[in-house]
Chains A and B, each alone.
Chain A
Amino acid sequence: MNILVCITHVPDTTSRIAFSDNNTKFDKTGVQFIIGPYDDYALARAVELKEASGGKVTVLNVGEVETEPTIRKALAIGADEAIRVNAFPSDSYFVAKQIAEVAKQGNYDLILMGRESIDFNGGMVHGMVAEMLGMQSFSPVMSLEIEGDTAKISREIEGGKEKLEVKLPFVAGCQEPIAEWKIPNMRGIMSARTKPLNVVEPSDNSTMTAVAQYELPAPKGAVKMIDANNVEELVSLLKNEAKVI
């Protein structure tokens, strides 16, 4: 089983989001970057599949040199080798194009990634990659079992879930509970230092979108506290002030 796992390098969920340069650039000051939480699930499942039945896990990131610590973490978790496409991930089309180009060189049975990144939340890249490669794609995938050239997957639909049987290869956008996140151990961290991390240049620079400017929402007003013995007041506020019931 030859698995490609695409990871994003994104601000930790707890980060304060701010922008610089007249709100045209993300302000990285004090921000801790992590493997995208959904990508982390995909990676964990890929490592489990490899441990169960052999094969290789290659982790791929489209990003500048600053993402290498995040990539090394993925190697510490259990990926065997890594590829970094040396470019700023300008938009989803650009990223998908780079992933598709790498995938064409690799003969992968499975291409896994998170259902969406937690910075732009677009959730578009898995479908784009699959279309570029002429493969099937599924998202959000909550379980993934492989038997020979067939996979049984479950995907979330609104208000429920669905089990599907599909042939390899395909692209999946993953989410919990496909696997538990793996925390790298000391042996993993040590071995990650010497695992191959190949840097390749982007194949095509075209994009389909551009961010003109970022905006932050207006700050929230103070909370109004209501006495627990006076729930009628809450009802009245919801009805007459918020006008939501």
Chain B
Amino acid sequence: MSVLVFIELEDGKIKKSSREAIAYGAAIGEVTALALGSASNDELASAGENGATRVLHVADERLNAGLIQPFAEVISSVFASSGASILVTAKSSLADAVVGRVAVKSGASLASNVSALPDTSNGFVVKQSIYTGKATANMSLTSDKKILAIKKNAIELKTGGATASVEATSVSLDDAWFGAKIISSEKAEGDVLLPEADIVVSGGRGLKGPENWGMIEDLAKTLGAATGCSKPVSDMDWRPHHEHVGQTGVKVSPTLYIAVGISGAIQHLAGVNSSKYIVVINKDADAPFFKAADYGIVGDAFEVLPKLNEALKKALA
């Protein structure tokens, strides 16, 4: 079976979640990957490590920004011409906005937040994470063409494959697709992207103010983690909104989530309940977050964090 995997680039590098999508595709068929915008041949060829056989590269610079309509048009066009019956992508802010359009253009069934390989014993059934991680639906995709958006950190990242062949591909771009003009963009530089991270360190109101975030950042640095925060913290502008973890913020699914000074309101838990392990540090022994945790420490963040950071540094040295 031929599978097309759309891979997202971040400053010319293949995102980790896109590598997971390639590994997913490789488990069900022969993977052709599709990359849009500028990237080096070596970087694209490295998609082979995760299981892609070849990479189609539409290198037009106008595709460097993740604009929804041009991406939907180009992906649909390549999906149609590639002969693949399945399109796989990582679930992301961009993919969410793009895949619905591609599904309509392609007449494809679409499942998002897919957390396991398909069961093809009776049709084509995938597991879709629903109710913000509180349940799973076994979703049957009834159309011949199928699109799967894979939940981040849900698929084991396979490495060690061969190098993929990279083929420059041209798709003629219509100016009418570029109706949206980007005026400005702000981006955190060099940090680990929160939705992609293996480890997340999050702080809440217990940190008492934005000036104390150094402790969270130090711990994150030691662990190679991304930093997050609770809703009140982003509402008070202590931290930017893209760090807000929860029901109406970013939903994360890291292997380790460390929550410091967050009581664990149900809206926050909804954003973290797909984490493999949860550590809660809070001075209130009755904080509801402890019930959802694997490991807990009752203590003052200002005392526990520096000690924990030192102990981790020693252990990881």
Contact = CB atoms under 8 A, between A and B. Distances in A.
A11 interface: yes
A242 interface: yes
A159 B242 CA distance: 6
Interface in B264-314: 266-267, 270, 276-277, 279-280, 290-300, 303-304, 307-308, 311-312
A109 to B, nearest CB: 15
B135 interface: yes
Interface stretch (B26-34, B49-57, B187-195): B187-195
Interface string B86-99: 00000011101111
Residue from the set B223, B249, B315 with the largest chain A CB neighbour count within 10 Å: B315
A166 B68 CA distance: 12
Given A14-B266, A165-B181, A127 B316 contact: no
Interface stretch (B38-46, B107-115, B167-175): B107-115
Contact of B294 (A14, A131, A214, A242): A242
Judged by DSSP, the binding face of B is mixed
Interface stretch (B77-85, B123-131, B210-218): B123-131
Interface size class of A (residues with CB under 8 A): 35 or more
B68 A127 contact: yes
B135 A136 contact: no
Given A138-B97, A208-B141, A131 B108 contact: no
Given A122-B112, A160-B185, A228-B299, A211 B138 contact: yes
Nearest to B108: A208
Contacts, number: 274
A78 interface: no
B256 interface: yes
A207 interface: yes
B182 A162 contact: yes
B103 A234 contact: no
A212 B140 CA distance: 6
A175 interface: yes
A215 B131 contact: no
B23 to A, nearest CB: 20
A142 B104 CA distance: 25
B186 to A, nearest CB: 5
Given A11-B131, A131-B105, A209-B111, A159 B315 contact: no
Contacts of B249: 176
B97 A212 contact: no
A162 B66 CA distance: 10
Interface stretch (A65-73, A79-87, A112-120, A194-202): A112-120
B106 to A, nearest CB: 10
Contacts of B223: 245
Given A176-B248, A223-B293, A245-B223, A209 B96 contact: no
A157 B277 CA distance: 26
B142 to A, nearest CB: 6
A13 B99 CA distance: 26
A242 B277 contact: yes
A159 B187 contact: yes
Interface string A116-150: 10111111111111111000111110100000000
B260 interface: no
B163 to A, nearest CB: 27
A159 B182 contact: no
Interface size class of B (residues with CB under 8 A): 35 or more
A217 interface: yes
B2 interface: no
Contact of B97 (A17, A93, A173): A173
Nearest to B17: A158
Contact of B66 (A19, A152, A157): A157
A122 B148 CA distance: 11
A167 interface: yes
B85 to A, nearest CB: 14
B262 interface: no
A137 B266 CA distance: 31
A157 B98 contact: no
Nearest to B283: A228
A238 to B, nearest CB: 7
12 contacts: A13-B132, A14-B266, A118-B247, A127-B103, A137-B100, A157-B66, A162-B65, A208-B109, A209-B111, A223-B295, A225-B296, A235-B308
Given A13-B132, A140-B97, A161-B186, 5 more contacts: A92-B100, A127-B104, A138-B68, A159-B242, A237-B295
List 4 A-B pairs, minimum CB-CB distance, nearest first. A127-B100, A228-B299, A160-B187, A124-B100
